[in-house]
Chain A
Amino acid sequence: DAKTTQPPSMDCAEGRAANLPCNHSTISGNEYVYWYRQIHSQGPQYIIHGLKNNETNEMASLIITEDRKSSTLILPHATLRDTAVYYCIVRVRFGGSNYKLTFGKGTLLTVNP
């Protein structure tokens, strides 16, 4: 199973870009990388996912290295409301054709005023 490694915590100043790294060196060639976040006491929230091309949506950008062994989630202009635990996830196949998302410990991003 592909696993991910993230720093346990990061700080960012409000208004600046937050760059959250993730290593997934054992990812297989056809597996996507997913990012979720969890604001305190709330359910996780889907942010973005990608395979090998960079992706951007209204929330964030995802940069995946050419060898696909790592990726970076970018919040271009972090706000205090972006303080949350960010999870980098590689989907795991189980039970035949079913998949699950395995949430690790993630990175606690604290956005400071």
Chain B
Amino acid sequence: AIRMTQSPSSFSASTGDRVTITCRASQGISSYLAWYQQKPGKAPKLLIYAASTLQSGVPSRFSGSGSGTDFTLTISCLQSEDFATYYCQQYYSYPGFGQGTKVEIK
């Protein structure tokens, strides 16, 4: 199984900050990576797929990059509605998720 490791597990940030979340795969997965946002009590929401393609309707402040084993999700200017938990997911083999990164209000 491909193991996905996100860092950090959680952090605090302020509205307007630029934040970056990292996801590392235990083996190369090309660009077969998606990012999701999950708010408490809600289902995850697809933000990015193919490592860097923005899902329709997702604000352009979200961006993704990387290929192979190392990937990043960047939020260019954090908004109040962005405080949530973020998950990466690889689809190089059967689907596997990272453990999540919680973005909290500072």
Question: Is chain B a partner of chain A in the same complex?
Answer: no
Residues of A within 8 A of B (CB): none
